[in-house]
Every structure is written in structure tokens, then in C-alpha cells.
Amino acid sequence: MWTSAALMLLLLATGCSLDAASRGPFGPEDPETVVPKRPLPAQLPTRHILEFSSDESPEHIKPKMAGSTLDAGIARSPNQEAVLSAADIAGLRTAAESDPRVATLLGERWGFIDADRVPPRGKVSFGCCRTTARFTRLTYFSYSHNVAVDVRLKDSTVLDASRVEGYLPPEGPRDVQRGIELARADRRLAGKVQGMEGHGLLMQPDRGFFRNDPGYGHRVIWITFSPGLGGDPKYWAQVDLTEDRVLDAGDEPPR
């Protein structure tokens, strides 16, 4: 009986969290290669003293290097080839979203996440040795199928579209917008969040011992409402975008 009790306690203590530990040990170490053993520096280097001073107003004011005086400008030149303009993205989205393969993968409910140019494979990339990058990747999340969808294009032709199982892309504008809409309409927050700014952040519910956390395995977003830019939430909601519903919501307790 005591063994069973101890085993139960151990299982409770270790739990079934998804939080992964780093793998280890890695495996045997190779012998050192036979290269000349050029001595390494005998002393640690000295470092400059650098501090930052910051304004604690809620505006988007960056911290400053303490004691600094600004100098004149520097040589800069835009790498236009490395990035996509809003017009580029709109054109690529039109091409992708009208492709039947993409439409099938996305299903009825989905959100666009973002788009990026795909640099040439290997070390030759944007910058000094850049070539005009013609390949792009669009990322979507299909709420209907609960999976990320990756679309590869060359110019405006869809080369490939595929499910990316297990990948949790960053929150896209649609994720945040839909999360805020659902949270604002929730009865627990009704009449409380008008005039407040809504924010959204992708979260990852945990696996449980007896049952999983609500929203486990789904696209879940943490929505907060705050009076302004200050990062000081007053109300919150946990929204399951896969099921298109609010899991829970309430007032933010005081610090």
C-alpha cells in the first residue's frame, strides 16, 4: 500500500507537463582532432561599462545608453530585395488564396500569419552577396483543421502548399483580432472593456495528469484589455481560436 501511495505521489510530483527538459547526455565525445594547439588567451578581456537610462512613461520611448552624446549619421543603404512591401504581400496572398490546393488546406476558417522572402540556401544570403530572391513563403493557420499551412511561391506562382504539423506560428493579425472580438462579446467582460485597448499573445496550454488544460493542442490566445499603452492589463480572456470560443475570462487581480 505504501509503495502504491509513494508511486502515486511520485507521479503527481513529476506530473505530465509538456515542459521539456533538454536532452542529455548527448553521447560520446570524439577525440580531439590533431591540429596544432595554438595557445588561447591567458586573461579574460576587459569590458566597457555600459548602462541604460529609461523614461518610464507609457509611450514608445526606447531606453538610452546612459551618458551618451549623439554623433553624426552613418553610411546606410536599403536592401530592397530582402523584404516584401505591403503591396507585394497583398499580391502574393491573392495568388495563394485563389489556388485550390491552398483553399483545401485552409478550410473554412483560417488566418494569414505572415510572408517572407526565402533566401538562397546556405551561406550566400541577403546582403553583400545577395541575389534577387524570387522565392517567398506565406504562413497561414487553419482553424478548421487546427494546423499551420506553409505556401511556397516563385514570383506569383504557387509551387507547393503543405501542412506543418505541430508548428505554432506567431500570432497573426487575424488571431488577435478574432480573439479580441470574442473576448469583448463574452458575458464575463460585458460592459467592462469598452474603450480599452485589446492585446493578444499566443499561449500553449499544458497537458494534464488526469485531464488536459482547456485548449490543449488548439490555437489558444491570451487576450488582455488595458487602458492604454502601459502594459498594465485590467481584464483577460483565454480564447480557443480552433473552437472559436472563449475558454475563460475575468478581472485581472491586483499586483
Partner 1 sequence: MRRLAVSALLLVCSLALPLPGSADTASEHVEWGAWSFDYEVRDNTGLALRNVTYGGEQVLAKASMPVLRVKYVKERIWWNPFTWFGSRADSGRCGPFQDRLRWQDLVPIVNCGNQKVCVERSTVKGMKWLELGIYARIGEYHIYQSWHLSEDGELRPVVQSRGLSCNTDHVHHPYWRFDFDINGNGMDQVFVRDDGGPDSGWGPGWKKYTNERNDVKNTATHRSWFVRDQLTGHGVWVLPGDGYSPLKDDGERDSFADLDVAIRRANPDEDLPWVFGARGQLGYDEDNQGVQEQDVVFWYVAHLPHMAALGPTKWLTLGPTLKIHR
Q: Show contacts with partner 1 in window 69-128 (CB under 8 A).
A: 69-80, 82-83, 114, 116-117, 121-123, 125-128
Among 57, 87, 187, 194, binds partner 1 (CB under 8 A): 57
Query: Are 226 and 232 in contact, with CB atoms under 8 Å apart?
Result: yes
Q: In whole angstroms, how close is the CB of 140 to partner 1 at the nearest point?
A: 14
Nearer to partner 1, 80 or 194 (CB): 80
Instruction: Decide if residue 56 touches partner 1 (CB under 8 A).
Output: yes
Instruction: Decide if residue 252 touches partner 1 (CB under 8 A).
Output: yes
Scanning 91-99, 180-188, 201-209, 239-247 for contacts with partner 1 by CB under 8 A, the matching segment is 201-209
Nearer to partner 1, 77 or 194 (CB): 77
Place of cell 472580438: 181
Instruction: Decide if residue 33 touches partner 1 (CB under 8 A).
Output: yes
Nearer to partner 1, 65 or 90 (CB): 65
Q: In whole angstroms, how close is the CB of 128 to partner 1 at the nearest point?
A: 5
Instruction: Decide if residue 173 touches partner 1 (CB under 8 A).
Output: yes
Say if residue 220 is exposed, middle or buried (CB neighbours under 10 Å; 0-12, 13-18, 19+).
Answer: buried
For Cα atoms 171, 236, 252, give the angle at the middle one, nearest 5 degrees: 140
Q: Virtual CA dihedral for 30, 33, 38, 44, nearest 10 degrees?
A: -20
Instruction: Decide if residue 233 touches partner 1 (CB under 8 A).
Output: yes
Query: Are 133 and 117 in contact, with CB atoms under 8 Å apart?
Result: yes
Query: Are 148 and 140 in contact, with CB atoms under 8 Å apart?
Result: yes
Whole-angstrom distance, CA of residue 72 vs CA of residue 74: 7
Q: Which three cell numbers stand for residue 32?
A: 580531439
Query: Are 80 and 99 in contact, with CB atoms under 8 Å apart?
Result: no
**What phi and psi, each to the nearest 5 degrees, are found at residue 56?**
-95, 25
Nearer to partner 1, 89 or 103 (CB): 89
> What residues from 11 to 30 belong to the interface with partner 1 (CB under 8 A)?
11-24, 26-30
Query: Are 102 and 149 in contact, with CB atoms under 8 Å apart?
Result: yes
Nearer to partner 1, 1 or 21 (CB): 21
**What phi and psi, each to the nearest 5 degrees, are found at residue 91?**
-65, -40
Nearer to partner 1, 103 or 222 (CB): 222
Among 64, 154, 163, 245, binds partner 1 (CB under 8 A): 64
